[in-house]
Amino acid sequence: MDKLKRVLSGRDAEEPSGLAEVIDATSLGWGTRVKGFIACFAIGCLCSILGSCLLWIPKKGLVLFAVFYTLGNIASIGSTMFLMGPVKQLKRMFEPTRLIATIVMLVSI
């Protein structure tokens, strides 16, 4: 409450904490977030499609499929972190209503 009073009265002369400086320095603008999301999602889709195509190669096809399909899934999931941030993404993934689905998906990968 005291901090709110200081801010409203214009007397907030506190030094920003180190964590606040890091957050301000590393935050991305909305346009950059959307570009990162699109790029990461496209790479994820490309890897998944490539993995599916490589499935039909004799002998090593199954291994290549597993590697590329897994990388594609990880990239696609990681792409949403650009939009909402990694901490918020992880908090939402492990909410009680989504916990079972998250565990099944991570074990499947």
- Total domain count, the chain: 1
Alpha-carbon gap, residue 72 to 52, rounded angstroms: 11
**Residue 107 falls within a domain, yes or no?**
no
What does the pLDDT look like over 5-27, one tens digit per residue?
Answer: 565 655 555 555 555 554 555 67
**Residue 42 falls within a domain, yes or no?**
yes
**Residue 73 falls within a domain, yes or no?**
yes
Alpha helices in the chain (DSSP H): 2-9, 18-26, 30-54, 61-84, 86-93, 99-108
**Residue 75 falls within a domain, yes or no?**
yes
Q: How confident is the model at residue 41 (pLDDT cuts 50, 70, 90)?
A: very high
Mean of pLDDT over the chain: 82
**What confidence score (pLDDT) does residue 5 get?**
58
Against a cut of 0.85, is the pTM above it?
no
Task: Return the percentage of the chain with pLDDT > 90, whole number.
Answer: 43
Question: Which residues constitute the domain of residue 7?
Answer: 1-83
Give Cα 20 distance to the centre of its chain.
21
**Residue 5 contacts by C-beta under 8 Å, 6 or more apart in sequence?**
none
**Residue 25 falls within a domain, yes or no?**
yes
Q: Determine the residue type at 37.
A: F
Give Cα 71 distance to the centre of its chain.
14
**Residue 99 falls within a domain, yes or no?**
no
